[in-house]
Amino acid sequence: MRRLIPTGEAMRPVEFADVPRPVPEADEALIEVEAFAPNRGETFLLERPTPGLLPGKDVAGLVVQAAADGSGPGVGARVVGHPPQGGWAEYAAVPTHSLAVLPDGIDSVRAAALPLAGITALRLLRTAGSLTGRRVLLTGASGGVGHYVTELAAAAGAEVTVVSATPERGMRLAELGAAEVVHDVAAAGGLFDVVLESTGGPQLPLAVSKVRPGGLLLWFGQASRTPATLDFFELLGGPAGVTIQHFHYAGAPYGPELATLVRLVEQGRLHPEIGRVADWSETAGALVDLRERRIRGKAVLTTGAVR
């Protein structure tokens, strides 16, 4: 079968290789991959790939071999999955606890856009607690996670202010429920019950200053790739008793969240934002554009196996 493997080259970060099909563990199903969606964090891993790195965590396709232990969907089921790695290939072995069955109304392209970004959004908002009637500030809102967070938080009754780099991207976030769109953290008006911060660098101290006394800042990313510095004495002059909490989405099983995301999409309550769909022969270019923030929302690559 064909698989995309890292090259270590900046402008051509992956290339095709012919390799054997993966042999599933007893609790894994073998999936014929129809579509996959790279994440921006994966583009950073490709800059200095570790030996044996097999990228690919967001896949959708068809079960061609059920798990030997009898768990999970059977042969012929259409599924979305979140394997630990190895999804940028014709076939991927996926633990059954991290699969969800797709209804007929959801195609593989939309499904592939769900896993990492959607699971992150669900778990992030769950960590934030009840949002009804609360003011929420979201930085770095133009990426895949930001679109899901905006739509889900607004639907939960939050008043959401988003930070987006461009008016075009901000317009889409407003359509998804954002009450206010600003282009810099400093421009966000007033104080917020919850701040969801994903940029790092100099934006983190600004975001902290926007939290109301006793409020919560959840730090879930560092898209700027610049370390943040907090000045204790500046904090003394800001809101009192602010909680700053590190957040990372990871931790299987992912199946329950995937099933929730699929249900929300099927009910028309969640809308994957897909900025590019292309054949997987164009993966290298898509990865560069994703890394350089030239794609709004998600990029999805198709293998040609889509039915």
pLDDT digits (tens, 9 = 90+) for 238-275: 778 899 999 999 999 999 999 999 999 999 999 999 99
pLDDT grade for 52, boundaries at 50, 70 and 90 = very high
Q: Which residues of the chain are in CATH 3.90.180.10 domains?
A: 2-114+272-302
Q: What's residue 225's pLDDT?
A: 87
Give the mean pLDDT of 57-82.
98
Residue with tokens 């889409």: 172
pLDDT tens track for 203-225: 999 999 999 999 999 999 998 88
Q: What's residue 171's pLDDT?
A: 92
Residues 6+ apart with CB under 8 A from 46: 6, 8, 13, 14, 53, 55, 287
Q: What's residue 230's pLDDT?
A: 86
**Regarding predicted confidence, which is higher, 307 or 289?**
289
**Third-level CATH fold of 121-246:** Rossmann fold (3.40.50)
Q: What type of residue sits at position 137?
A: L
**Third-level CATH fold of 2-114+272-302:** Quinone Oxidoreductase; Chain A, domain 1 (3.90.180)
Q: What's residue 292's pLDDT?
A: 92
Q: What's residue 167's pLDDT?
A: 83
Can you tell me the distance from the alpha carbon of 247 to that of 5, in angstroms, rounded to the nearest whole number?
29
Q: What is the DSSP string of 250-272?
A: --S--HHHHHHHHHHHHTTS---
Q: What's residue 268's pLDDT?
A: 97
pLDDT tens track for 220-238: 999 888 998 888 878 777 7
Contact criterion met (CB below 8 Å) for 260 and 101: no
pLDDT grade for 307, boundaries at 50, 70 and 90 = low
Name the average pLDDT for the chain: 95
Q: What type of residue sits at position 92?
A: A
Q: Which residues of the chain are in CATH 3.40.50.720 domains?
A: 121-246
Task: For Cα atoms 269, 212, 237, give the angle at the middle one, nearest 5 degrees.
Answer: 150
Can you tell me the distance from the alpha carbon of 18 to that of 149, in angstroms, rounded to the nearest whole number?
38
